């Protein structure tokens, strides 16, 4: 039975309307042809006319539910008023009453049904003198049947509204999920762009200095030239590994069997310092506070800020000494990089220096930290950043 109802519900609305119209017309015709009542006028034509009109008007029940209900009540009332055999007043109106309630016109359906019941009681008491109790009992049964049909239609309307609301909520959730996914993709690509900028700038700066050292040392010290070239090769290998990891993310590869380079962290800061020293800078590197590695996002942000700061010193500051200080604090990690170079650029927003400062600020301020950069007095440039311990990428 449930399977049959499911198949019926899957039919197009127009097909369901036609089936209901044919079923209603057939049922009315059979009852009208077989009904018998003492003193009533039997008429086959009236039976066919009643069945045809009720079936025909029910075809338009979805478009004009109230009109169909009123016409159905009028036709059934006229049939009984013409003294044809009674066929009952509730069930021929069941389709129209159900449709009216399902369309959200419950109270109008109740009003029409109540009017039909009251009119039927009055008409029968007027034309059928006799005991009142059988008339009231019969009409109350008719009213109860109408009430059940109206309740069924209102329940279907409520379920349809609930289903539509759930569908709309699901659609909104899906839309919000897609928007969140797009936002995360944009943020991830911006993060990768910052990483690529930092890696390339640092690699070019350190490798360029080492290549210049090697070129100058070839004339008087082959060993020093080889050492400078090895440093440039090491920096190039590290940068290549990071670039491959970034490109793998951009291509959205999910094969976990592929080798992946580790995420830079605070341990890598010492390699940055050594690379700057090998490039000719005197670097004073100090750490303070509690021991132990911070969360990976914090370590990555500190590493990139130190990397970009040292890159700017090597490429633009014309400095000889730089101080790098990392302080582990209860709520986060503080970073300070100060050099004795020529100071801030004339226009901080221009060129690689400007982009580097923007990237460092985003790494610090984005997760709720602090960032400042500017002159370190009469000579030099200072970068300060504080990264909260609960920072996320």
Domains in the chain: ranges and CATH: 2-129 (no CATH), 282-393 (3.30.565.10)
- Dump pLDDT digits (tens) for 331-387: 888 999 998 887 766 554 445 556 678 878 888 887 788 999 888 777 788 999 988
So what's the pLDDT on residue 178?
A: 82
So what's the pLDDT on residue 241?
A: 65
Q: Is the pLDDT of residue 260 over 50?
A: no
- Dump pLDDT digits (tens) for 50-79: 888 888 888 888 888 888 888 888 888 888
Find the mean pLDDT for residues 268-294.
81
So what's the pLDDT on residue 202?
A: 61
Beta carbons of 109 and 101 less than 8 angstroms apart: yes
So what's the pLDDT on residue 324?
A: 92
Q: Is the pLDDT of residue 185 over 80?
A: no
Find the mean pLDDT for residues 95-105.
85
- Dump pLDDT digits (tens) for 232-244: 666 666 666 666 6
Range 288-316 burial, b when 16+ CB lie within 10 A, else e: eeeeeebbebbbbbbbbbbbbbbbbbbbb
So what's the pLDDT on residue 384?
A: 92
Mean pLDDT score across all residues of the chain = 76
So what's the pLDDT on residue 173?
A: 83
């Amino acid at each position: 039975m449930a399977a049959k109802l499911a198949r019926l519900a899957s039919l197009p609305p127009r097909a369901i309307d036609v089936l209901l119209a044919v079923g209603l017309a057939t049922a009315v015709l059979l009852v009208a042809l077989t009904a018998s009542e003492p003193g009533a006028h039997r008429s086959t034509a009236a039976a066919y006319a009643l069945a045809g009109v009720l079936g025909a008007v029910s075809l338009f029940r979805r478009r004009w539910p109230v009109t169909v209900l009123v016409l159905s009540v009028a036709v059934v009332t006229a049939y009984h008023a013409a003294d044809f055999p009674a066929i009952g007043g509730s069930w021929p109106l069941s389709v129209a009453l159900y449709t009216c309630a399902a369309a959200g016109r419950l109270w109008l359906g109740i009003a029409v049904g109540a009017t039909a019941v009251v009119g039927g009681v009055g008409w029968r008491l007027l034309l059928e003198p006799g005991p009142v109790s059988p008339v009231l009992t019969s009409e109350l049964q008719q009213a109860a049947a109408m009430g059940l049909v109206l309740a069924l239609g209102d329940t279907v309307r409520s379920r349809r509204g609930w289903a539509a609301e759930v569908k709309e909520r699901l659609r909104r959730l899906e839309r919000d999920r897609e928007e969140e996914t797009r936002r995360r993709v944009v943020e991830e690509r911006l993060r990768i762009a910052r990483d690529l900028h930092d890696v390339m700038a640092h690699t070019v700066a350190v490798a360029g200095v080492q290549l210049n050292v090697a070129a100058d040392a070839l004339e008087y010290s082959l060993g020093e030239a080889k050492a400078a070239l090895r440093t440039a090769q090491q920096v190039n290998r590290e940068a290549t590994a990071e670039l491959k990891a970034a490109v793998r993310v951009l291509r959205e590869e999910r094969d976990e069997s592929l080798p992946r380079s580790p995420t830079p962290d605070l341990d890598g800061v010492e390699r940055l310092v050594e690379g700057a020293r090998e490039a000719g800078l005197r670097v004073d590197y100090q750490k303070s506070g509690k021991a132990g590695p911070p969360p990976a996002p914090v370590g990555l942000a500190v590493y990139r800020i130190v990397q970009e700061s040292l890159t700017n010193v090597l490429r633009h500051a014309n400095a000889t000494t730089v101080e790098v200080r990392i302080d582990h604090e209860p709520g986060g990690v503080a970073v300070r990089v100060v050099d004795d170079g020529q100071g801030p650029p004339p226009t901080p927003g221009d060129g690689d220096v400007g982009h580097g400062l923007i990237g460092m600020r985003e790494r610090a301020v984005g997760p709720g930290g602090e960032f400042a950069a500017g002159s370190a007095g009469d000579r030099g440039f200072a970068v300060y950043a504080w990264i909260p311990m609960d920072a996320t990428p």
